[in-house]
Amino acid sequence: MSNINFFRKKRYLTGIDWIIHALDYITKKGTGTGNTSQIILELDGAPAEDEFRDCIGNLIKKYPVLHGRTSRDYNLAPYWKISFTKQSQPLPVKASYLDNTSCEADIFSILAQIANLKFISNQEHLFFHLIYTGNKCYVVMTFDHRLFDARGAEAFLEILQNEWKNKDNTFCDKDIIVPAESAHLRRWRRKFIAGQQVNRTFLKLGENAPPRALPLPASLNNRRFRFKVIPFDKHQTDLIVENAYKEAGYLMLMPYVLASAVWVMHRLFSKRNIKSGDYVVPVSIDMRPTDKVQQEVFFNHVSFLFFIVRPDAADHFPVLIKSIKQQLYEQVKSELPRNFQEASLLMRILPLPILSNIMRVYLKGQIASFSFSNVGESAYKSSSFMGKKILNILHMPRVPVPPGLGIFFHQFQNKLNVVLSFLEGILSDEEANELIHTLQSRLGAK
């Protein structure tokens, strides 16, 4: 280990990484658990528990970045301090064996419990659960969003699969992989110009602030997240894609599912008689080219689009679609996602408590009406995991609080899944069920 030089022990954080750290800080402060998420592989068959543990053990040696913590350099840039001394510490893996009578509802209840577990130390960012039931197994990877974004986490599972395929290879020091990132302490003019554009965008978002949002429960401490997961089959997915074409145009699935999400939220908010403010929806987008995810697995390689929807537009679906498409076009044209990445580099000087307050200044205490993403086709490309066929891949993200509410779409093998994630107490179970049923109807998949 002695040949590893000092600079390989740190990975500078980008501005987006720092914003994700701030969201983690806010959520941890409010609910006691940070900005975590989990991916579930639903397998037709049961991978061997000991083989799984062996593969995880090998990965820890190769990727010391998995044990890290945030620090600040002498040049004031924050970085991820990589711990090479923790490589011998195993990542937590727990296995549960359920009897054959366990129904899907039981399993989803267990998955939701796992999604709400805390990491036990500030250097733990990942743990696994294997749930064996009948002829199936659910491989659950719960992760800290500071370490992976959603597609990065999927790509990490692909690394695990490759580790299993090459399990006979012996480990040596040259196998150690440490992600690198520049400190980004040059081209300040470019960052300030980007900052001006982002500032103008936020001022526009805040014109009618605070945005329309569901009230948070009085006490947030130790509140759990709840989830409604709807997997669509191939036929339903084809129907949704066809409806997207008819109502939004060719290759307009993202604006279509976003408009559908706003449309159902508007009905929910109206029923609750929440009638002030606009809908403000940040949408995270992957900035890596599709084929490059495997090369940029760790940390956050996303940026954001910001949509504002006036309530009168949310009443009429064609108007809503048109507004969202127009905003998407204008933001891509003005290179907002790239400028947001650049401008956020300036925010790294701020300590997290201050940054988390500043993030709420523009929208008068709020961050958004709800969170949304359409991850697209999974970055996990194999059809099997450790020799067992994958039936589906699901995401169960906890949403930063505020808003504590989000709708997330992703695809696996051309089949869409949608997940509603909400902090306990924000929605009743009845409201959550109604919301998801209305969404299915709106998408034309029911």
Contact residues toward other proteins (CB under 8 A) are 245, 250-255, 285, 289-292, 322, 325-326, 328-329, 332-333, 374, 376
Residue 253 C-beta: closest distance to other proteins, Å: 6
Which CB sits closer to other proteins, 222 or 326? Answer: 326
Closest CA to 397 of 371, 415, 416, 379: 371
Of 111, 124, 92, 127, give the one whose Cα is nearest residue 42.
111
CA atoms within 13 A on the CB side of 107: 24
Q: How far is CA 93 from CA 33, 56, 158, 259, in A?
A: 19, 9, 18, 39
Pick 57 or 376: Cβ nearer other proteins: 376
Q: Which residue lies nearer to other proteins by CB, 33 or 201? A: 201
In this complex, which beta carbon is closest to other proteins, that of residue 247 or of residue 431?
247
Beta carbons of 424 and 224 less than 8 angstroms apart: yes
- Kindly report whether the peptide bond that precedes residue 337 is cis, defined as omega within 30 degrees of 0: no
Between 251 and 354, name the residue whose CB sits nearer to other proteins. Answer: 251
Q: Is 338 left (phi over 0), alpha (psi -120 to 50) or beta?
A: alpha
Phi, psi of 443 (to 5 degrees): -75, -10
The CB-of-347 to other proteins minimum distance in angstroms stands at 24
Residues 127 and 148: beta-carbon distance below 8 Å: no
Is cis: bond before 400, omega within 30 of 0? no
| Minimum CB distance to other proteins, residue 332 (Å) | 5
Q: Which is nearer to other proteins, 171 or 329 (CB)?
A: 329
Q: Which two tokens stand for residue 198?
A: 């982002």
Q: What end-to-end distance do the CA atoms of the chain give, in Å?
A: 57
